[in-house]
Amino acid sequence: MIRGLIYGINNIFLIFYILIIARIFLSWIPRLNWYKQPWKFIWQSTELYLGIFRKFIPPIGMIDISPIVAILALQLIQNVLIFILFQFA
């Protein structure tokens, strides 16, 4: 039961990692219209989370490092959550 829950949580985090990384790579494409699908889905699903980090971490020149910090924070959250679930197993 707990193993299935851990597996599901890991998959959800993996999907979110992939969405963030896809957004990073897509941000390098000039004139990308974020209001068309599937780009709109990627933007909407990651903006709320990444926006938190953009408020506190300014870009360095033209490089936005907030997604890197956001991924590290997401990994920390994932590890703490999995650790807590292992305590109940």
pLDDT of residue 37: 86
pLDDT of residue 71: 97
Task: Name the H helices within 1-89.
Answer: 2-26, 39-56, 66-88
Higher pLDDT, 89 or 64: 64
Token pair 């780009």 is at which residue? 39
Determine the Cα–Cα distance for residues 78 and 12; give it in Å rounded to an integer. Answer: 10
pLDDT of residue 31: 86
How many domains does the chain fold into? 1
pLDDT tens digits along 45-63: 999 999 999 999 998 988 8
Longest dimension (CA), the chain: 49
Handedness of CA 68, 29, 32, 17 (dihedral sign): negative
pLDDT of residue 1: 80
Determine the Cα–Cα distance for residues 30 and 11; give it in Å rounded to an integer. Answer: 31
pLDDT tens digits along 1-52: 888 899 999 999 999 999 999 999 998 888 888 888 889 999 999 999 999 9
> Whole domain around residue 50: which residue ranges?
2-88
